[in-house]
């Protein structure tokens, strides 16, 4: 890490240009927080965050004069946003807030100097600044030293910091996952002692931090910290509960360790950057095991139907965290389907079973492929190779059938409008039942000819006391 640390910071030209605007108006402007940290680490940064001595009205006037678009959604907290020379920037007045330590939001107060503003920030690695446009580096809490030591530490006492804003405890885990840093001992102790304070934070804010952690370079590092400090118990208790359930294959320390391995495996299968949906499905795929733990006649541990129980649990937990409906549906469906594959290698699957697998997965099939492969964590190399070969064979078989049939869009050979015309019935429940019957036949037998489909429809209609029109 030491060769990545330096005080020579490359400042984007747009930042210097903005600094000139504020300096000419008699105000200080500093690049602060994440952009400074990432510049020191020589990492790319998408954000440009600034702190200024100007008050919000003054900031807004300057940005309206020199920018193209402004927004004031953060004005209550001293933040004005703008598009400036094609870049999105956010400028916040120096802050000297106080907290009632009941809610999360501070009682906003503006400060008059940079050092006090940096003191109120979450961690020392985010409490550094570069003045603009003269590039004077400010680091009153030795953030650069903590970058070199690879440690997450708070500018003041962690107890005061977390009492002010308990969300910072989750941010500590997130930054550990993003940067690969260790959390300072006193900070870690405070996280464990104050975990219950996280209950003050809204579900939406907790969700946002959790999603950022899951999208980090090493989410497992952050997840372990959440479990070890008891923070996971406050918003994701299903994860620490996995430590109590021994994996039925007896190849892992427990289901908790198996789960973290599956998350790492899923990351290894990503193709275009972090896939947070896949990672969360991997994290939650076995959460039904503690509630389904039992013993078979031979004394082996069993977890019958844990995938279905886990899917229900995942839906409930993700709803509580205010995840979007589409994400909840996909993650729970992936969990429900992730064990379906484990009969394929015994030669039990017909073409009909393959069609159903593809149809049930629908648009989720690419992620389901990755989740199933990630779930193979056995240390038995021969067994692992066999499972991988079996899934290779299944994917090849899907491709062969898909070449002849549009598996991604399996529909009955006769649509609803045709059903109504052929049977001379109005829209209603019976049309839907007839449609589902024909779809089942399509899945079971593959594509039918028009004559075969009509004959099957008429047979079904007679069995349901629907008069079949005379077509002679």
Instruction: Provide the pLDDT for residue 4.
Output: 47
What's the pLDDT tens digit per position in 169-185? 999 999 999 999 999 99
pLDDT of 409 over the 70 cut: no
What's the pLDDT tens digit per position in 117-148? 999 999 999 999 999 999 999 999 999 999 99
The fold for domain 256-408 equals Hypothetical protein af1432 (1.10.3210)
Q: Are 413 and 442 in contact (CB under 8 A)?
A: yes
- Rounded CA-CA distance 140/119 in Å is 8
What's the pLDDT tens digit per position in 7-42? 567 899 999 999 999 999 999 999 999 999 999 998
Does the domain spanning 150-235 belong to CATH 1.10.110.30?
Answer: yes
Instruction: Provide the pLDDT for residue 432.
Output: 87
The phi-psi region of residue 428 (left if phi > 0; otherwise alpha if psi is between -120 and 50; otherwise beta) is left
Mapping DSSP to helix (H, G, I), strand (E, B) and coil, where does residue 391 land? helix
Residue burial 210-242, b: 16+ Cβ < 10 Å; e: rest: bbbbbbbebbbbbbbbbbebbbbbbbbebbbbb
What would the mean pLDDT of 72-94 be, rounded to a whole number?
94
What's the pLDDT tens digit per position in 214-244? 999 999 999 999 999 999 999 999 999 999 6
Instruction: Provide the pLDDT for residue 309.
Output: 96
pTM over 0.75: yes
- Rounded CA-CA distance 407/401 in Å is 8
How far is Cα of residue 447 from the mean position of the Cα atoms in its chain? 38
Instruction: Provide the pLDDT for residue 328.
Output: 98
What's the pLDDT tens digit per position in 349-401? 777 788 888 888 888 999 999 999 999 887 778 888 888 888 888 888 888 87
- For residue 92, which phi and psi values (nearest 5 degrees)? -120, 135
Order across the sheet with 129-131: list the strands: 69-71, 79-84, 87-93, 49-52, 29-32, 129-131, 137-138
CATH of 2-149, one of 3.40.50.170, 3.40.50.300, 3.30.460.10, 3.30.420.40: 3.30.460.10
Instruction: Provide the pLDDT for residue 348.
Output: 67
With CA atoms as reference, report the closest residue to 74 among 53, 89, 96, 85: 89
Q: Exposed/middle/buried for 261, CB within 10 Å: 0-12, 13-18, 19+?
A: middle
Instruction: Provide the pLDDT for residue 313.
Output: 98
Q: What is the mean pLDDT of the chain?
A: 89
pLDDT of 291 over the 80 cut: yes
- Compute the radius of gyration of the chain from its Cα atoms: 29
Instruction: Provide the pLDDT for residue 252.
Output: 42
Instruction: Provide the pLDDT for residue 7.
Output: 56
Instruction: Provide the pLDDT for residue 1.
Output: 42
With CA atoms as reference, report the closest residue to 243 among 262, 222, 265, 228: 228
Q: Are 378 and 388 in contact (CB under 8 A)?
A: no
Q: In the block, which residue shows the tokens 């304070």?
A: 197
Q: Which residue has the higher pLDDT, 394 or 56?
A: 56
Instruction: Quickly count: other Cβ atoms within 10 Å of residue 361's Cβ.
Output: 20
Percent of the chain residues topping a pLDDT of 70: 90
């Amino acid at each position: 890490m030491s060769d990545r640390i330096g005080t020579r910071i490359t400042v984007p030209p747009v930042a210097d240009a903005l600094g000139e605007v504020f300096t000419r108006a008699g105000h200080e402007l500093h690049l602060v927080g994440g952009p400074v940290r990432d510049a020191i680490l020589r990492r790319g940064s998408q954000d440009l965050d600034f702190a200024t001595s100007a008050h919000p009205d003054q900031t807004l006037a300057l940005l309206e004069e020199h920018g193209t678009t402004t927004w004031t959604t953060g004005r209550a907290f001293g933040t004005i946003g703008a598009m400036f020379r094609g870049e999105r920037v956010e400028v916040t007045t120096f802050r000297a807030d106080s907290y009632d330590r009941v809610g999360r939001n501070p009682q906003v107060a503006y400060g008059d100097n940079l050092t006090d503003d940096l003191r109120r920030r979450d961690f020392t690695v985010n409490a550094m600044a570069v003045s603009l446009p003269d590039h004077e580096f400010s680091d009153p809490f030795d953030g650069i030293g903590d970058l070199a030591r690879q440690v997450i530490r708070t500018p003041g006492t962690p107890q005061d910091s977390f009492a002010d804003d308990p969300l910072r405890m989750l941010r500590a885990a997130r930054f550990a996952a993003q940067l690969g840093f260790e959390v300072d001992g006193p900070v870690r102790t405070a996280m464990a002692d104050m975990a219950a304070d996280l209950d003050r934070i809204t579900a939406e804010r907790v969700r946002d931090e959790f999603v950022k952690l899951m999208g980090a370079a090493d989410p497992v590092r952050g997840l372990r910290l959440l479990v070890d400090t008891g923070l996971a118990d406050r918003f994701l208790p299903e994860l620490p509960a996995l430590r109590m359930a021994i994996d039925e294959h007896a190849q892992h320390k427990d289901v908790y360790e198996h789960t973290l391995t599956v998350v790492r495996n899923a990351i290894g299968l990503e193709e275009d950057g972090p896939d947070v949906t896949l990672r969360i499905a991997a994290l939650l795929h076995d959460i039904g095991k503690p509630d389904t733990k039992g013993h078979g006649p031979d004394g082996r541990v069993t977890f019958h139907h844990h995938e279905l129980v886990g899917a229900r649990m995942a839906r409930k937990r993700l709803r509580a965290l205010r995840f979007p409906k589409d994400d909840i549906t996909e993650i729970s469906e992936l969990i429900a389907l992730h064990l379906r594959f484990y009969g394929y290698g015994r030669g039990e699957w017909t073409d009909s079973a393959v069609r159903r697998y593809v149809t049930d997965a629908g648009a989720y099939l690419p992620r389901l492929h990755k989740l199933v492969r990630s779930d193979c964590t056995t240390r038995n190399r021969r067994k692992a190779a066999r499972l991988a070969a079996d899934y290779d064979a299944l994917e090849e078989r899907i491709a062969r059938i898909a070449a002849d049939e549009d598996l991604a869009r399996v529909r009955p050979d006769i649509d609803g409008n045709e059903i109504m015309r052929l049977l001379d019935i109005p829209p209603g429940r019976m049309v839907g039942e007839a449609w589902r019957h024909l779809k089942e036949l399509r899945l079971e037998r593959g594509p039918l000819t028009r004559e075969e489909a009509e004959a099957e429809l008429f047979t079904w209609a007679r069995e349901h006391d629907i008069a079949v029109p005379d077509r002679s």
